[in-house]
């Protein structure tokens, strides 16, 4: 089921143009550099980024540490990892040598 279908089922009065705002609000989007991913996966990647950054008090802005985390999450998604908990766990594990606070 697509994100728009899920949102439509939850909020039937929401108009289709409002879904574009929801999709644009995904914090991983600025780091994707035009790489194509399905909306559901972008949501999972965004949740993983929010979780990792939140755990360490990092901002969801274009800062070096945030970029490193985002790139790792993108790499894991390209390797086939599709859910936020696994993306989060694997990112933390693989970045422990690069992020002194991980």
The predicted structure's pLDDT at residue 98: 75
The predicted structure's pLDDT at residue 23: 42
Q: Is the pTM of this model over 0.85?
A: no
pLDDT per residue as tens, the chain (102 positions): 444 554 455 445 544 444 443 444 688 999 998 888 999 999 999 999 999 999 888 889 999 999 999 999 999 999 999 999 999 999 999 998 876 665
The predicted structure's pLDDT at residue 31: 92
The predicted structure's pLDDT at residue 56: 85
Angle between helices 3-10 and 16-24 (to 10 degrees): 120
């Amino acid at each position: 089921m697509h994100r728009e279908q899920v949102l439509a089922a939850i909020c039937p009065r929401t108009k289709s143009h409002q879904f574009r705002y929801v999709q644009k609000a995904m914090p991983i989007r600025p780091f994707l550099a035009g790489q194509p991913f399905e909306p559901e996966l972008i949501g999972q990647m965004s949740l993983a980024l929010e979780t990792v950054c939140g755990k360490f008090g990092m901002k969801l802005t274009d800062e070096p540490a945030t970029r490193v985390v985002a790139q790792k999450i993108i790499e894991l998604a390209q390797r086939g990892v599709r859910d936020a908990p696994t993306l989060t766990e694997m990112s933390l594990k693989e970045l422990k040598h690069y992020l002194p606070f991980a």
